Chain A
Amino acid sequence: MRGTSRSSPARAAAEPSDDALLDRLQRAAFDYFLQTVNPRNGLIADTTRDGAPSSIAVVGFALSAYPIGVEHGWIERADAVERSLAVLRFFSDSDQSGSPDSTGYRGFYFHFLDMRSGTRAWLSEVSLIDTGFLMAGVLTAAAYFGAETPAETELRRLADALYRRVDWRWAQRDGSAVMHGWKPECGFLHYGWEGYSEAILLYVLGLGSPTHPLTEQSFRAWTVTYQWENLYGYDFLYAGPLFIHQFSHAWIDFRGIRDSFMREKDCDYFENSRRATCVQREYATRNPRSFKSYGPDCWGLSAGEGPSAPPRLVAGRRQAFYGYAARGVPYGPDDGTIAGSSVLSSLVFAPEIALPALRNLVARGPTDAGDLVRSSGFNPTVGEAGPTGWISQGAFGLDQGMIVLMIENYRSGLLWRLGRSNPHLRSGLRRAGFRGGWL
């Protein structure tokens, strides 16, 4: 698509520098947290859609984003502290009984909470990974707001108490790998973590806990399910969806530190994510299912929303559409939907391929506001929805959070710096067997 019809001369002339473009996208994403907050309890909505509950993961991203807002002068420090305090207080005082309409259990929280009451929404599960994202935000806030003012002192105290309250050990069944979630109706869910995933953050947080730490055995029990593969000429720790290679990297600077697996493979998780990004690009270039627009500058199969259209023939095969799904490479699911924000989250790993893709997506969007990278997903193959194809409406908090955090890491490395200074993360990493580099 480069330099063809869609990028009109007028737009081309006005094309901002990389820095200005990123600043604009990051600021717009940051605004999500200001627009979707319930100021009374600090909870943030999962999406901008009507009636959306709060997602605890998105709250974690908000807590991590406020310091960035302060650094850029988008909000006052006092305002950021107030917003953080509101939500930390809410969680501290929340009903932890684990009853069907409580807020959490054993220091973990239900995945979705009612925006107003803060109690469980949608019969959701007590979610380990989402509590992990929340805790990453909690620790980030505590690391950033280090002033000796009453408010910031309270913030740090609450943050520390929330983290210490999480009973990671409880979620480690039979002393091995960690469970996915728990419901009052049926206890632990059947699902386990198999294969490399974003759960690495969960393990680091759990291993670093001073109160209820996971055993080191848990990390081994999980990493034993890793698969190191050569695909399209790249050797990497395989996982299909791009977000898996990105989420933990929002908070943890994996450059140069290695656990025993990465020592064995002479790689690290950061380099691994770079290769995973290249694999995505290779896949989109091959475009085995002949979807519209895929190519070297249009890739990014990840978690996100796609069309829920009825099946149709695409390039000679009956193609189903999956709605919200974790799409992946090379085995799919793939229905022609690209998660645009995953390109922004790739900047830190592979700017040389992510920037051209970003430029392409911005140029192709219906407006110059970066619609395609900010939406949860877009699908040019489902074309009747408009000239640029189907686009997910509204905004999703997880995407906006990742955009804010990963652009920041690309620009300043702020989140990584905060993470490196955090004693719990450091000890979690060490207990997981990480050595070298900044550790």
Chain B
Amino acid sequence: MLPLHPPIQQPVEGPYDRELCDNLRPPDWRNPRPREPYHLLVIGAGPAGLVAARRAAALGAKVALIERRLLGGGSLNYGSVPSKTLIRSSRLYAEMRDAANFGVTPPENIRVDFAMAMERMRRIRTRISRVDSAARLAAEGIDVFFGTARFTSGDAVDVDGASLRFKKAMVATGSRSRLPSIPGLAEAGYLTNETVFDLTALPASLLVIGGGPLGCELAQAFCRFGSRTVITHDVPLFLPKEERDAAQMVAEALARDGVEIHLNTKAVNVRVEGGKKCIETLNDGNVATISVDQILTGIGRVPAVDELDLEAAGVAYDAETGIRIDDFLRTTNRRIYAAGDVCLEHQFTDAADAAARIVVQNALFLGRKRVSALTIPWCTYTDPEIAHVGIYVKEARERGIPVMTYTVPMHDVDRAIADGEEDGFVKIHVRQGTDTILGATVVARHAGEMINGISLAMVAGIGLRTVARVIHTYPTQAEAIRKAAHACTRTRLSPFAAWLMRKWVNR
């Protein structure tokens, strides 16, 4: 399988990784001879880069797409897709574990075959890769270059010695995991999201450092697979961006599954002893030691800006917040735009995709689309899931917007009760005195699916009272949204209107 195609650093013998590489980084690929100059040159072939390149090419532009590793980027290869695939296996395990409560007798000994679960993940990754293959992109008229892109001037990049000139460019180099600076960690060895999906054997024990979305999702999955799983998080609540109740529920769910949780705890140093990695932790002055076989870090993402020579192109950036953009996604060089994790606060595949569409409009078709106008939902795929869209109450209150929240616990929703999936809630935030939806948080087994109805209403400018008029299929869990909407219509009745109604029925 050599030469290796990073980041699949240990390609597994078997058909899947080979086909994946054939699709996303063909070993015999020859970069095309550059056409001059490109209408749109795209650096990075993650979700943002792929969408922009395809749209621009479909609209007749001359497009170059440069990727240094694998087409599909982090999302397909070591992010959303592999993690969600493993989560599916872990959920199935949890369902079997709890089957007796549903009147189904599970087998005596439910065994997770980790190697098979990982192979399934590879198979699915490969399957999805077919639609994004280099050959297909080329057939769509895109010049695909493998190699590392570097700016040499305000209108040219170098890809492994070849110079490509452009009229407009989009930087979509994404992000990489932030590496913790814990003494001894590098020597002891650790996994990140770039390497964890290469595992073929389940670690007997695993420490996850960081209680953000990645840490929480994978800690729960590995725990369910049978690793003794410990998670440390340096502040008192998981998922610091989310509502307190939501974060609390994730903590409870992880604890129920058996994850050992150390909140408000810092990992301070690591040493290796008897083949184990021993991590010293600090919690409000108390020192403790955790000993595990593997460490996975998920303490955040940093924008991939280092190797681009952005200075040569006059593109301003910050090592922490990434490429500086205006509301039209333009960088400080008027020809160059950016999209995706490399510049956005919201580092999600959906946001990267939406931003890339804006760039194509603005860069090639004199568009004036604003990134601030996007409604971006996101979801953390723990069990239960936590999905959010729009504004948080605290943000609204900071801006002086009075907020009213309609809350429906999932235990008030018939289908959730029937499904035995009562942990969670729907909270819809409206501007007080109106039915204008400002945002929502959903915690539910399938919160990611449920939030879409609310996002739709927000983008279409539909108020919560109109949502109340939408008959939701009964019984479904999404009915929680309709219930929240009905609560809104009830509150809207002014005392005078209520008096009139009473008068009328009692006439």
Contacts and interface: CB of A to CB of B under 8 A. Distances in A.
Interface of A: 123, 125, 183, 185-186, 189-191, 194-195, 223-233, 235, 238, 240, 264-265, 286, 288, 313, 316-318, 320, 330-333
B487 A233 contact: yes
B256 A331 contact: no
Interface of B: 98, 101-102, 235-236, 243-245, 248-249, 252, 255-256, 264, 282, 284-285, 393-394, 397-398, 402-407, 409, 411-412, 420, 422, 425, 427, 432, 487-488, 490-491
Contacts of A224: 394, 397-398
Contact of A228 (B101, B243, B249, B405): B405
A204 B420 CA distance: 44
A112 to B, nearest CB: 15
A331 B404 contact: no
A230 B464 CA distance: 14
Contact of B487 (A125, A230, A264, A288): A230
Given A190-B264, A226-B397, A320 B256 contact: yes
Contacts of B404: 228-230, 235
A320 B98 CA distance: 15
Nearest to B103: A316
Best-surrounded residue of A189, A190, A313 (most CB of chain B within 10 A): A190
A320 to B, nearest CB: 7
Smallest CB-CB A-B distances: 6 pairs:
A185-B285, A288-B411, A186-B285, A316-B101, A229-B405, A231-B407
22 contacts: A183-B284, A189-B284, A190-B235, A190-B236, A190-B264, A190-B284, A191-B236, A225-B394, A227-B403, A228-B403, A229-B404, A230-B407, A231-B409, A233-B490, A238-B405, A240-B245, A265-B432, A286-B411, A288-B411, A317-B420, A330-B425, A331-B249
Nearest to A329: B409
A288 B422 contact: yes
A82 to B, nearest CB: 38
A87 to B, nearest CB: 28
A406 B249 CA distance: 32
A159 to B, nearest CB: 32
Contacts of A330: 409, 411, 425
Given A194-B244, A233-B490, A331-B425, A227 B405 contact: yes
A264 B407 contact: no
Contacts of B255: 320
B317 to A, nearest CB: 28
Nearest to B237: A194
Nearest to A192: B236
Nearest to A225: B394
A223 B102 CA distance: 44
Given A224-B397, A331-B425, A230 B405 contact: yes
A190 B233 CA distance: 12
Best-surrounded residue of A226, A229, A230, A320 (most CB of chain B within 10 A): A230
A185 B407 contact: no
B189 to A, nearest CB: 29
Contacts of A264: 402, 432
Contacts of B393: 226-227
Nearest to A194: B244
A225 B427 CA distance: 15
Given A224-B394, A228-B403, A228-B404, A333 B252 contact: yes
Given A235-B404, A331-B245, A331-B248, A286 B425 contact: no
A183 B285 contact: yes
Nearest to B248: A331
